[in-house]
């Protein structure tokens, strides 16, 4: 009877684990789609329920460091409730958000925490997570190339793929590009030994990045191209720093350099093609710096108020009207920062918070968002909410970096041998690969999206739920409980080489 009970308990636990990650996969797909609120709620709440039962059955060891970033995130909706009761001047609008956006965000954080605990036990479930993120961008690219074939032109008008808007598509495609750079980091910076695995991660990462860039070209999204270009620059700097380190240690290998050269050339060629297209058609990128300088002159030209007055956008020294999008983004960003200084506690609204401030001063203004998620977010949650969010991001990033640093010592085994002794522990080695990939994905996703929040309109609703979920999941799974692995070195002595995952 005891054996049957244990078998049933194991079966139930396994079923709950699978359901948690099926719910996550569904969520990661439907978050990006319009008219999917029912699917989001069902996946979110049933996933949390499954996680609660799983924790009751498994009783995983949970230390403070495991859930500290999640606590910081949960304090943000708590702060919004306090704000609502004591400082709110927009009680009806704020309660609508507390009862919808912040409720789902709270459950997203909890689900991310539960999923992180499950991933600690089964790192390979991370595959569900990856599938959920890359599904829609891959479908978008396929649909784009199909339309290019039918219309016989590369530049499509108002192409959005399955996404509800341009900024929605850019956000979720950016996630795929960041995962691509995480795969490249696995190939070049992780402790894996297999050349076949390194080559596989290189191909996969390059494929995800290039497909994402093609999606950006399809959307004609300068933000996405800039993020891809900036990420390429960061990755190149890291590669050359590692190359210098290997040169000092006289341990340079030719094959990674060839891989890197091919990948970098492909990325640069793709980005350059977008630059040429922009130069001949929109000229947004080629005039970006000069347009920003003119856009900072808020008092000289007040078209940025967008209150219906017949005032044209500013012109440059050559009489060319500056790009309207660049003008709005720059001027609204500056005005938004001034609003934050004047209202450090925020107004409690994350959805189009900038519009409430603008209408208070300029009643006829049609401006709603600053185009910068961090500014819009802070206008809503105030500096306390911003500080709590950044604490969670920093905690998550430090956790990922600590884990990557820890895994790198797995290659240093025998001090008495000139060659590192490879572990003959297959299960351990696979776990090392899986958890290293999670850590690299965590760093690129969390920091990359934090950078995207500077220029994107994604500090509300499903984007807020999505980002908080990612932070909670990655921060939890990279807080690993460890115990030592001991092997014998060539001279017969015992040596602790790594803390087992």
What is the distance, to the nearest Å, from the Cα of residue 411 to the centroid of all Cα atoms in its chain? 29
Q: Last residue of a domain, which of 336, 371, 406? A: 371
Across residues 96-102, what is the average pLDDT? 93
Residue 374 has pLDDT above 90, yes or no: yes
Query: What's the CA gap between 404 and 182, in Å, rounded?
Result: 12
Percent of all residues in the chain with a pLDDT value above 90, rounded to a whole number: 35
Amino acid 247: pLDDT? 67
Amino acid 472: pLDDT? 94
Nearest to 66 by CA among 406, 399, 407: 399
433 confidence band (pLDDT: 50, 70, 90)? low
pTM assigned to the model: 0.86
Domain count, the chain: 2
Co-location of 214 and 73 in the same domain: yes
Structural domain harbouring 118: 2-285+375-500
Amino acid 65: pLDDT? 67
pLDDT digits (tens, 9 = 90+) for 111-127: 999 999 888 888 888 88
Co-location of 215 and 332 in the same domain: no
Query: What's the CA gap between 92 and 78, in Å, rounded?
Result: 17
Q: Last residue of a domain, which of 310, 338, 371? A: 371
pLDDT digits (tens, 9 = 90+) for 245-262: 766 666 666 656 666 676
Co-location of 59 and 200 in the same domain: yes
Co-location of 245 and 320 in the same domain: no
497 confidence band (pLDDT: 50, 70, 90)? very low
Residue 178 has pLDDT above 60, yes or no: yes
Among 90-99, 172-181, 318-327, where is mean pLDDT lowest?
318-327
Residue 39 has pLDDT above 60, yes or no: yes
Co-location of 278 and 340 in the same domain: no
Amino acid 365: pLDDT? 87
Amino acid 135: pLDDT? 92
Co-location of 186 and 323 in the same domain: no
Co-location of 333 and 415 in the same domain: no
408 confidence band (pLDDT: 50, 70, 90)? low
Residue ranges with strand state E in 337-493 = 483-488
Co-location of 229 and 315 in the same domain: no
Q: Give the DSSP letter of residue 87.
A: T
pLDDT digits (tens, 9 = 90+) for 123-172: 888 888 899 999 999 999 898 888 888 888 777 778 888 888 888 889 99
The mean pLDDT value of the chain amounts to 81
Co-location of 6 and 129 in the same domain: yes
Co-location of 259 and 399 in the same domain: yes
Amino acid 282: pLDDT? 61
Q: Last residue of a domain, which of 345, 371, 397? A: 371
Across residues 42-54, what is the average pLDDT? 93
Please, which residues have CB within 8 angstroms of residue 61's CB and are 6 or more apart in sequence? 481
Co-location of 218 and 236 in the same domain: yes
486 confidence band (pLDDT: 50, 70, 90)? very low
Across residues 67-92, what is the average pLDDT? 92
In order of 29, 31, 207, the CA distances from 163 in angstroms are 11, 10, 21
Percent of all residues in the chain with a pLDDT value above 70, rounded to a whole number: 81
Co-location of 136 and 61 in the same domain: yes
Amino acid 337: pLDDT? 93
DSSP 195-209: HHHHHHHHHHHHHHH
């Amino acid at each position: 009877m005891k054996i049957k009970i244990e078998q049933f308990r194991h079966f139930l636990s396994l079923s709950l684990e699978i359901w948690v990650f099926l719910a996550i996969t569904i969520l990661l797909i439907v978050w990006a789609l319009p008219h999917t609120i029912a699917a989001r709620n069902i996946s979110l709440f049933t996933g949390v329920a499954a996680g609660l039962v799983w924790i009751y059955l498994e009783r995983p060891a949970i230390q403070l460091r495991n859930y500290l970033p999640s606590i910081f995130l949960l304090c943000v909706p708590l702060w919004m409730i306090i704000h609502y009761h004591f400082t709110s001047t927009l009680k009806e609008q704020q309660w609508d958000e507390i009862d919808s956006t912040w409720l789902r965000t709270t459950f997203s954080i909890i689900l991310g925490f539960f999923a992180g605990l499950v991933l600690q036990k089964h790192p390979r479930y991370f595959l569900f997570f990856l599938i959920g993120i890359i599904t829609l961008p891959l479908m978008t690219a396929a649909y784009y190339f199909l339309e290019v074939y039918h219309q016989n032109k590369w530049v499509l008008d108002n192409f959005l793929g399955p996404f509800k808007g341009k900024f929605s598509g850019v956000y979720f495609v950016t996630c795929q590009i960041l995962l691509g750079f995480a795969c490249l980091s696995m190939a070049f910076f992780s402790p894996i030994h297999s050349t076949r695995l390194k080559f596989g991660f290189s191909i996969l990462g390059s494929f995800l990045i290039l497909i994402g860039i093609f999606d950006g070209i399809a959307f004609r999204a300068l933000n996405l191209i800039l993020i891809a270009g900036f990420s390429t620059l960061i990755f190149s700097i890291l590669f050359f720093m590692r190359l210098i380190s290997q040169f000092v240690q006289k341990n340079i290998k030719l094959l990674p350099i060839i891989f890197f050269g091919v990948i970098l050339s492909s990325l640069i060629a793709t980005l350059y093609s977008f630059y040429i297209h922009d130069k001949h058609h929109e000229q947004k990128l080629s005039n970006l710096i000069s347009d920003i300088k003119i856009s900072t002159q808020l008092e000289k030209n007040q078209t940025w108020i967008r209150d219906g007055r017949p005032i044209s956008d500013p012109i440059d020294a050559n009489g060319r009207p500056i790009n309207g999008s660049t003008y709005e983004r720059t001027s609204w960003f500056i005005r938004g920062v001034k609003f934050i200084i004047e209202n450090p506690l925020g107004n409690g609204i994350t959805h189009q918070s900038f519009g409430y401030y603008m209408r208070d001063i300029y009643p006829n203004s049609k401006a709603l968002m600053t185009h910068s998620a961090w500014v819009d977010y802070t206008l809503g949650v105030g500096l306390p909410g911003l500080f709590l969010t950044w604490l969670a991001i920093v905690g998550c990033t430090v956790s990922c970096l600590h884990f990557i640093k820890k895994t790198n010592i797995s290659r240093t085994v025998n001090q008495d041998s000139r060659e590192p002794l490879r572990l003959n522990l297959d299960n351990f080695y696979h776990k090392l690969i899986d958890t290293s990939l999670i850590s690299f994905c965590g760093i690129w996703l969390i920091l990359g999206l934090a950078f995207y929040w500077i220029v994107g309109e994604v500090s509300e609703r499903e984007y807020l739920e999505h980002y908080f979920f990612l932070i909670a999941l990655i921060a939890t799974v990279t807080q690993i409980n460890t115990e030592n692995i001991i092997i014998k070195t060539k001279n017969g002595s015992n040596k602790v080489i790594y803390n087992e995952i």
